[in-house]
Amino acid sequence: MAEGNNCEELSLRHKKERKELQAQIQNLKKSVCKGDKKRKKEITEEIVQLESDLDQRQEQELLDWIKLVNLDDRQKNEIPCTSEELAGECSHACDPIPRVSKAQKRRNKKQDAENERNQRIIQQEAENVFGKRNIETQAIRRILKERSLQLHEIPSDGHCLYNAVSHQLEEIGEMPLGFKDLRIKTSEHLKANMNDFVPFLSSADSDGIFSTEEYEKYCLNVAESTAWGGAVELQVLSRVLKCPIEVIQATGSPYVIGDEYRDKGKTVILTYHRHMYGLGAHYNSVKKFTVKDEES
C-alpha cells in the first residue's frame, strides 16, 4: 500500500507543479507589451525552456520511482532464512552443491517469469499515471471542465480533423457535413487558392516549396486519401465554413483560426493532442459537460 500512496503523492505533486508552471507562463505572457517582438521572442524561449526543464525533471523522478518499486518487489520475493537454516548452511559449507532437479528448474523458471510479469505491470501502471499521454489528456480535461465542456473522442484513422469538425458542426447547429464532404471542400479550396497556401507546404524530396504537380497531388490526397490534416487544412476549413476554429491544447493559450468570422456567433472547438497516439498528433471534438458522462 505504501507504494500506491507514494505513486499518488508523486502524481499529485506533478500535477500541482504543472498548474503552477501554467500560472507562471500566463504571468510571463502578460508581461509582454503589445508590439514588443524582441521581448515576446525572449519570453517564448524562456517558456519553452521552463516546460522542457519540468518535463525532464518529472520524467527522471518517475524513473527513480519505478526503480524503487522494482527493487522493493524483488526484495519481497526473497524468502528469509531461519536461524536453523543458516546454521545448517554453515555446517555444510564444504558439502558439494546439490543438483537442481528438472522439476525445480521448471518451478524457478515459472517464478522468474511471474516476477518479471509483475514488474512490467507495476511499470505500466506508473506510465499510465505519469505518462505524457495521460498528463496531457488530464490537463485538457481540466481546461474543458472550467468551460463546462468535455472531450468527445474521435477515432484515430487519418480523418480525425475532419471528423472532429463534422461533430462540431452538429453540436453548434450548422449544416451537417461528413468527413468526405469536408475533405472535398478543403481540396477544392486549396486548388482554387494555390498562391495562398503553397508557400506553407514543402517537398520532402527537395526541401523546397511544392511544384505545381506536387501541389496538385497534395490536393488530390486531401480529397481521396486518409492524409492527416494540419495547420493548412485548419485555415482552409475556417474559410470554407466561414467560422472561427478554436484549438485547445494542454499547455499554453488556445489559438483561434479565422477570427474574422467571430461575429457569426458560433465557433468550432477542437482539442489538439501531441501524445495521444504513437503515430502522431490527434484532434478530438468537445461537447457540453454532464456529470452523468463524467461518471460513466
> Last residue of some domain: 99, 130, 161?
130
142 within domain boundaries: no
What CATH number corresponds to the domain at position 287?
3.90.70.80
Question: What are the pLDDT digits (tens) for 23-68?
Answer: 888 888 877 777 777 778 788 888 888 887 887 787 787 777 766 7
* Number of compact structural domains in the chain: 2
Whether 136 is covered by a domain: the verdict is no
Q: Does some domain include residue 270?
A: yes
Q: Which of 130, 164, 193 is the last residue of a domain?
A: 130
Q: Are residues 79 and 202 in the same domain?
A: no
Assigned C-alpha cell, 91: 555446517
Q: Which residue has the cell 515576446?
A: 40
The reply to whether 137 falls in a domain is no
Q: Which of 101, 130, 159 is the last residue before a domain boundary?
A: 130
Better-scored residue on pLDDT, 41 or 122: 41
For 19-27, which contacts have Cβ atoms below 8 Å and span 24 or more sequence positions? 21/50, 21/51, 21/54, 22/251, 24/50, 25/50, 25/51, 25/251, 25/252, 26/253
pLDDT tens digits for range 191-227: 999 999 999 888 766 667 888 999 999 999 999 999 9
Query: What is the residue whose three cell numbers read 490527434?
Result: 282
Q: Which of 7, 160, 219, 243 is catalytic?
A: 160
pLDDT bucket at 119, cuts 50 / 70 / 90? low
155 with 277, same domain: the answer is yes
My answer on whether 126 and 209 are in the same domain is no
List, for residues 138-154, the tens digit of each pLDDT value: 999 999 999 999 999 99
Helix 2-30 to helix 132-146 angle, to the nearest 10 degrees? 60
The C-alpha R_g of the chain, in whole angstroms, comes to 27
Domain-embedded: residue 89: yes
Q: Are residues 161 and 108 in the same domain?
A: no
Q: Do 91 and 206 belong to one domain?
A: no
Q: In this structure, are residues 32 and 43 in contact, taking their beta carbons and an 8 Å threshold?
A: yes
One domain, residues 46 and 115: yes
Among 112, 157, 181, 293, the active-site one is: 157
Report yes or no on 144 lying in a domain. no
By CB atoms closer than 10 A (0-12, 13-18, 19+), residue 191 is middle
Same domain, 234 and 158: yes
Can you tell me the distance from the alpha carbon of 227 to that of 235, in angstroms, rounded to the nearest whole number? 16
Report the half-sphere exposure of 208 (CA within 13 A, side-chain side): 4
Cα(275)–Cα(283) distance, integer angstroms: 11
Q: Which of 191, 247, 200 is nearest to 222 (CA)?
A: 191
Q: Does 157 participate in catalysis according to the annotation?
A: yes
Q: From CA 270, how far away is CA 246, in angstroms rounded?
A: 6
Q: Which domain holds residue 82?
A: 2-130
- What is the number of helices (H) and of strands (E) in the chain? 11, 5
Could you identify the residue written with the cell 510479469? 117
174 and 278 together in one domain: yes
Indicate whether 220 and 273 sit together in one domain: yes
pTM, 2 dp: 0.57
Q: Does residue 47 lie within any of the structural domains?
A: yes
Q: Express as a percent the part of the chain with pLDDT over 70.
A: 78
166 and 71 in a single domain? The answer is no
Shared domain check, 108 and 41: yes
160 is catalytic: yes
Q: Are residues 211 and 105 in the same domain?
A: no
Asked if residue 103 has pLDDT above 70, the reply is yes
Say if CB 159 and CB 226 are below 8 A apart. yes
Query: Is 139 inside a domain boundary?
Result: no
